[in-house]
Structure 1
Amino acid sequence: MNHKKFPYAGFNSAAIHAGHEKDPKYSHLTPVYAASTFVFDTAEQGMKRFSGQEEGFIYSRWGNPTFAEVEQKIAALETWGHAGLTAKAFLCASGMGAISALLLSTLKKGDKVLTHYSLYGGTQDMIESVLPDLGIEAIIVDLKDLQKAEDAFKNNKDIALLYLETPANPTLQCVDLAALTALAHQYGVRVACDNTFATPYLQQPFSFGVDFIVHSTTKFLNGHGTAIGGAFLGRDTEFMQSKAYRIYKNLGANGNPFDAFLLNNGMKTLPLRMDKHCSNAATIAEYLNKHPKIGKVNYCGLPGHPDFSLAQKQMKHAGAVLSFELKAGFEGGKKMMDQLKMCTRAVSLGTCDTLLCHPASMTHFSVPKEKKEAYGITDGLIRMSVGIEDVNDILNDLEQAIN
């Protein structure tokens, strides 16, 4: 049976079976193809593969059978439930590898990229420190204000890409995918979205017209903290198979077979894990929102959050990541982190265990205070990736750590 063409009625089925082809040696799971290169039966076959007349693998930087299943599975999940919607995906060495491949394949010298505040730190650094040296300028505005977004398009005819991250890291603010994409397309601008926090289980940007999606597969897609990885997807399959593929393979942004194997197995339980992650997060957000030592909770699943209605419109659930501000500030944040007993002190997110980090003393320690505050990163801010432990154990650990 060709599983790729079977019409899966459920997301769970697609997460398990999409992209899988029967192994010629009858292995139940797709093996780790730990091969740097692939052989040809004849010189004629080699010529046909290099010219594109025949499909087949040549060199693992250009493609690998273990990658292929993962790429097809991610593309299937991002387009699942939308008849006629197709996408091409590339498996990358990291989320930043995916973002780099996206930016370098869609932007050139003289172009501008429009984006918003509160992006993942690596993305922010890429846009502000790397792209300018290539002659590419970043325009950063509050994209929650559609008028400001339209003014940016009107006043900057060189904008070639609108880059979105929703929910954003670490403030969890959301932007309107449908409205911003429609606006960008009016001005002939393509749109990309980082869908790491939501995953395709909770949000499918392609369904809102977005042109490109990037993921750090290290996070919820893998789910177990066992491998670094990224994914770069596009709806324009001709573009993806030509210019984007050329940038991807020459950049050396490809993943590796063993990490792809781990990612493939992790994705099979994505829906089950996300349901538990999300239900735990909702309970914890409500608890924190009532805690006397917490000044603010950033979680768009709370009715009082400014993005509550928007999140309900474009997401299945508000997700499993939240942040909150301790009234005790910087020292309070450090103290709480030191007193955790079960939850894990670590950066990253999306693993089965609950992870907490204090950006002011960790990821953003070297960022000037005024810049941190402009991005909503206060001294007492704690980012929390809620795991799938028993929710009462998470609550008990938070209670003793905060107090």
Structure 2
Amino acid sequence: MDIHDKRFETLSVTHGEHGSTMSDVAEDVVVPLHLTSTYAVGGLNPDADLECLDPDAGEYLYSRLSNPTRNALEHRLAAMEGGEFGMAFASGTAAIVSTVMATVQPGDHVVAFDDLYGGTKTMLSRLFEERLNVDVTLVDARDVDAVVDAVRPETTLLWMETPTNPLMHLCDIEALADVAHDAGAKLGVDNTFVSPYFQQPLALGADVVVHSTTKYLNGHSDSVGGAVVTNDEELAGEIGFLQQVGMGNMLSPFDAYMVLRGTKTLPLRMERHQENAMAVAEYLEAHESVTAVHYPGLESHPQHDLARRQMSGYGGVLSFSLDADLDGVEQFLGALREFPLAVSLGGVESLVEHPATMTHSPLTQTARDLLGISNSLLRMSVGVEHVDDLLADLDRGFDALDASGATQTTPSASD
């Protein structure tokens, strides 16, 4: 059966494993963990092109170039995103760096969403602008016209997250794909926050999609990795060169094995993440000590209609602002038991983080203020626990906040 005839839930469980050439000893239901660094070859072949070895036919030379466990994962990730070429990296950042490097050269120009993950913004600034002579313009990509105005003749890449981290802003992928292609540029989309289960940018016109597999794809907070998926064969070749040779940032066999395991439950987990996140968002929106809630699933979200149009679900991440100063935020966080204070997201367990002092601390205070990332803003990754336990934990936090008396007399800054 062609993969296009299979539903997402089937691809996430079996694709890349059943009927593969991963084992010449037995037909494994689960792809084995191939820890070898090198492979025996049949003999000398002076005419062999080592770059043309076919892993799907069992042709392997060295695990930096290809590995059966990683190969299985790359096929699965590509199928889940509706793409042809998949590449797994040592981290989400490695996936982003390789993708940007494959699409720009010195003198080129990148247009990027202004509400990107802080690490991505720092990478674009310190690596590409300061060292590689690539100009970067940050814009509020919620406004398509603002992106159009930022495009120049030397623009080669539009780089977007949707939803963004941490304010859950959206951009219109289909409209921005048209903007990019009219300019002769590529559109790249970081799809980490909702996973391919809820959003597939390639189907909306994007040229390349990246993920931090650390998050929802693995789903258990025990593996770090990244992925790139594209239908563009030339772009895939450039990214693959950087993965295997140029920088050697491939995903380890063990982490590939972990992500393969994680994807099997992705559809089940995403449904529960969304169900719990919606309940938490509605609870927070109704609370008198909360001044703003950012979650695309809420009808009050200013881009809710766009979310409904380009996403099939809203994910498990939200952010909100407390009516409190920094001392009050600390009191609230200190009373929580089911929401550990930690960076990252997308695991089965719930987490909370403080963007201003954690994920976005590399940004200046002025930059954070412009984005609306105040000291009262918190981001939550809502897990798959029983929702009543999560809501009871939030009650504990608000009780502690009330007892501290550390509320503000004026509303927090928000977007």
Contact 2:115 2:140 (C-alpha < 8 Å) held by counterparts: no
* C-alpha distance 100-51 of structure 1, shift in aligned 2 (>3 A): closer
SS state of the match for residue 156, structure 2?
Answer: strand
Rounded to whole Å, the distance in 2 between the matches of 1:181 and 1:162 is 9
Counterpart Cα distance in 2 of 1:159 and 1:332: 45
Shift of residue 58 of structure 1? 1.4
Shift of 1:53: 6.3
1:93 partnered with 2:126: no
Alignment equivalent of 1:58, drawn from 52, 61, 67: 61
The runs of 5 or more residues in structure 1 that have no matched partner are 80-85
Contact 1:118 1:169 in 2 (8 A): yes
Q: 1:12 aligns with which of 9, 12, 15?
A: 9
SS in 2 for 1:168: coil
Residue of structure 2 equivalent to 1:77:
80
Give 2:242's match in structure 1, choosing from 230, 247, 259. Answer: 247
Q: How does 1:142-221 map to 2 (within 5 A)?
A: 142-153=140-151, 156-221=152-217
Equivalence for 1:393: 389
* Root mean square deviation of aligned Cα: 1.5
TM-score (norm 2): 0.91
Letter in 1 for 2:66: G
Which of 232, 242, 266 aligns to 2:228? It is 232
Find the residue that maps to 2:297 and give its secondary structure.
Answer: coil
SS of the equivalent of 1:170 reads coil
Hey, what's the Cα distance between the residues in 1 that align with 2:168 and 2:232?
A: 29
The answer (yes or no) to whether the contact 2:276–2:382 under 8 Å persists in 1 is yes
Deviation at 1:272, TM superposition (A): 0.3
**Partner in structure 2 of residue 82 of structure 1:** none
Name the stretch that deviates more: 18-27 or 101-110: 18-27
2: distance between equivalents of 1:39 and 1:304?
60
Q: Which residue of 1 aligns with 2:36?
A: 35
1:11, CA displacement in angstroms?
1.3
Matched residue type, 1:25: V
Is the contact between residue 344 and residue 355 of structure 1 (CA under 8 Å) also seen in structure 2?
yes
- Would the aligned equivalents of 1:337 and 1:358 in 2 still touch at CA under 8 Å? no
Deviation at 1:54, TM superposition (A): 5.5
Q: CA deviation at 1:239?
A: 3.1
Q: Which residue of 2 aligns with 1:105?
A: 102
Aligned mates of 2:25, 2:47 — CA distance in 1 = 27
Deviations 1:349-388 (A, max 9, x none): 0011101011223333453322112122111011000000
Question: Is the 2:119–2:359 Cα contact (8 Å) retained in structure 1?
Answer: no
Q: How many matched pairs?
A: 390
**Counterpart of 2:409?**
none
Q: Is the 8 A contact 1:190 1:211 kept in 2?
A: yes
Following superposition, the deviation at residue 18 of structure 1 comes to 1.0
Give the residue type in structure 2 aligned to 1:31.
P
Whether contact under 8 Å (1:15, 1:267) holds in the other structure is yes
CA deviations on 1:323-373 (whole Å, 9 max, x unpaired) are 000010322222211111122221100011101011223333453322112
* Paired position in structure 2 for 1:223: 219
Cα 1:51–1:157, aligned 2, differ >3 Å: closer, same or farther? closer
Shift of 1:400: 0.8
Cα distance in 2 between the residues matched to 1:115 and 1:366: 18
Deviates more, 1:187-196 or 1:46-55: 46-55
Q: Residue type matched to 2:8 in 1?
A: F
Percent identity reads 36
The one-letter amino acid of 1:157's match is P
* Structure 1 segments (4+ residues) deviating >6 Å: none
Compute the displacement of 1:49 (Å): 5.0
